[in-house]
Structure formats: C-alpha cells, structure tokens
Amino acid sequence: MSKQLILAMLKERQKEQQKEYLSGEVMSERLGISRAAVNKAVNGLRQDGYQIESAPRKGYQLLASPDFLTKGEILPWLEIEQVGEPLLCLDTVDSTNSYLKRESQNLPAGAVLVANQQTEGRGRLGRLFHSPENTGVYLSVLLKPELAPARALNLTAYVAVAVCEAIERATGLIPGIKWTNDLVLGGRKICGILTEMAIEGESGALQYVIPGIGVNVNEAPEDFPEEIRPVAGSLAMAAGRKLPRGRLAAEMINSLDRMYISWCAGSGDYLERYRKACLTIGKEVQVLHAGEAPRPAFAEGVDENFGLMVRYPDGYRETITAGEVSVRGLWGYV
C-alpha cells in the first residue's frame, strides 16, 4: 500500500507541474513509515517501469509512468464527496459488477472497483463485453440510495451523461449516446453501461444499485474480435494516440460522484444533456420487441423518463423503455 501512496504523492507533484523534488523525509513523515521503507517503495516503482529521478538532499521526482490502473495513478485526480471511497483496484476480475454484488454486504455505499481486465464482462441481455487486459477501463460503483426501486430505472441514462463528461474532461473527445446505454465516437461503440439492482423480497426496498461501465481506451482495430470489429472502436482510434487510463478512471469517478448527488436530489440538467448527446434522435431505427419481427420506426425524441419516442410508418406513436425492447440503427451502428 505504501508504494501506491508514494506514487500518488509523486503524481500529485507532477500533476501540479512542480519541478521541485519531493523529499524522502516529507514522504516518511506523511505516511508514518521509515526512510528505508520509502526508498524500498521507490525502487519497487522503478521495477514496475516508473522513471523516478533522485538527487542527494533533494529527494525524488517522477519523470514518466507506464499505463497502469492503480490507486497511485487514480488518487491524485479525485475530487469526490460520496462516490469513490473505498477505491478498489484489481488487475483481473470476472466482472466488476459481479464482484460488487458478491461483496455488497461487506462494502459501504460509494465503493468503486476499477479493473484492468474482465474475464466474464457482461452487457445487456446477457451479452459478453470484450474486456482485454491493459487497454480499457472497467469500473463499477456500489450505490445504496434510500429511494423507491422505480427511481433507479433512469440511472443508466444519468451514468451515460456522466461518462460522456468524464471522457471530455480527460481526453477532449466528445462522444454521443446511442439510446439507451452505449457511447459512440465516429460511428463506433466505445463504451457500454450495465446497471443492476437488488430488491428485498418482503419489503420491496431497494438494497443496492450497481452501474458498471466498460470503456475501450487504447484498443487498435485488430484488438477486437472479428465479429464486433465493424462496430467497435476506442478512444485511441478516435484520438490517433494512446491515452492515460488512470486519468480517465479518476474523471469517471469524479463525474459519477457529481451525478449521484444530483440524481438523489432530483436536480441537475442531465435530461437536457442526454437529449443533446443522443445520436438516436432523428434517425430511422428498428424496434425489436421480444419474440417479434423488427419494425422500422423514426426516433422522434426522448421523454422525461428517458423513454424513446418513436413513430411507425403507419403514423402510430409509442414510447419505449430499455427494459422492453432493443433499438438498432438502419445505417451504421447508430
């Protein structure tokens, strides 16, 4: 743990663009560990690939970092109130959502899990979510709001807006939203969101809600399975360069924290922001009710409950929700 805390201190100094060294004595006093322990942690970071310069009577200075998803990479960027404590970072997990569901009794509300890889990543309707190591950000948050379960039905849309905000803050890229839960850049899916909840059988009370987010960050086209290659994309493909995942993970947590406070209070402009970002509005789509043939329709807008308002060729209109149907674009992914 001391290694990650020392990394966070060095990253904080680097983030502030201060060229001064950080002394071993200062780190020792702040963390309550010996100078020998500080030196051991710094050497461990060097072995991990961090370039750290040292100078007698000055201390240490971080020059360059590998692209890891660890506490030391994320903590310096966090500005949180309710979401992000504790912060759990794992190299590999079956599914970030599944992990938090298993540990929901043992973890407090606001706990966040960030993983470098998922072996059983999941999307809507039981679909697999491709989650290779060292390329994406896979993040879930455990929420325990004291609200009626029905209030949680629109949370995925709020999360989509929050992740759009985080991506823009961390990278400068501005994704759109394919109704209801996919983020899109350049006509390709770069992020999926899966929200799961548990309701107590006897009382009907909401026990927890877990939004899970998977962002494709540094994948190249050949990194995707052939079957999804035509529609899958990444932030790096859009930006034309590799991007730091730790900064993105931190901005995701920051945005989720702000979103959660607004969502619980029923405040904020998330509906307007969702409508502005929604790429499905104004498009010809196919509406897929379970067990029925796809029906062509025109997406006219998003209502106050984030339902998609569609008009069929015969003039009939209906508002559909994500739990009832899927919507596919007729031209390209969106």
Q: What homologous superfamily is domain 71-277 in, according to CATH?
A: Bira Bifunctional Protein; Domain 2 (3.30.930.10)
According to DSSP, residue 5 is labeled H
CB 166 within 8 A of CB 74: no
The DSSP bridge partners found for residue 80 are none
| pLDDT value at residue 324 | 59
- Strand blocks (E) in the chain: 51-55, 59-64, 87-90, 112-115, 136-141, 176-178, 182-185, 188-199, 206-216, 284-289, 295-302, 308-311, 317-320, 325-329
Architecture (CATH level 2) of domain 284-329:
Roll (2.30)
Exposure string for 115-140, b = 16+ CB within 10 A, e = fewer: bbbbeebbbbeeeebbbeeebbbbbb
Question: Is residue 41 packed enough to be buried (19+ CB in 10 Å), middle (13-18) or exposed (0-12)?
Answer: buried
Q: Taking the domains of the chain in order of start, what are their residue ranges?
A: 2-64, 71-277, 284-329
For residue 116, give the nearest of 101, 130, 137, 99 by alpha carbon.
137
The DSSP bridge partners found for residue 199 are 206
CB 303 within 8 A of CB 309: yes
According to DSSP, residue 223 is labeled G
**Is there a shared CATH topology between the 2-64 domain and the 284-329 domain?**
no
> Would you call the peptide bond into 211 cis, given omega within 30 degrees of 0 as the criterion?
no
Residue that has been written with the tokens 């709020």 in this structure: 158
The DSSP bridge partners found for residue 309 are 301, 319
Dump the DSSP string for 181-199. Answer: TEEEETTEEEEEEEEEEEE
Which amino acid does the sequence have at 294?
Answer: P
| pLDDT value at residue 289 | 81
CB 289 within 8 A of CB 312: no
Q: CA 178 to CA 310: how far, in whole Å?
A: 14
Architecture (CATH level 2) of domain 2-64:
Orthogonal Bundle (1.10)
| pLDDT value at residue 239 | 96
pLDDT tens for the chain, residues 1 to 334: 689 999 999 998 887 766 789 999 999 999 999 999 999 999 999 999 999 999 998 999 999 999 999 999 999 999 999 999 999 999 999 999 999 999 999 999 999 999 999 998 887 656 778 889 999 999 999 999 999 898 899 999 999 999 999 999 999 999 999 998 899 999 999 999 999 999 987 788 899 999 999 999 999 999 999 999 999 999 999 999 999 999 999 999 999 999 999 999 998 899 999 999 999 999 999 888 877 888 999 999 999 999 999 999 999 999 998 765 667 664 555 6
Beta pairing class for 284-289 and 176-178: unpaired
pLDDT, one tens digit per residue, over 271-300 is 999 999 999 999 999 888 877 888 999 999
| pLDDT value at residue 129 | 85
Dump the DSSP string for 298-311. Answer: EEEEE-TTSPEEEE
According to DSSP, residue 19 is labeled -
Question: Is residue 297 packed enough to be buried (19+ CB in 10 Å), middle (13-18) or exposed (0-12)?
Answer: buried
Residues in the chain: 334
Beta pairing class for 206-216 and 295-302: unpaired
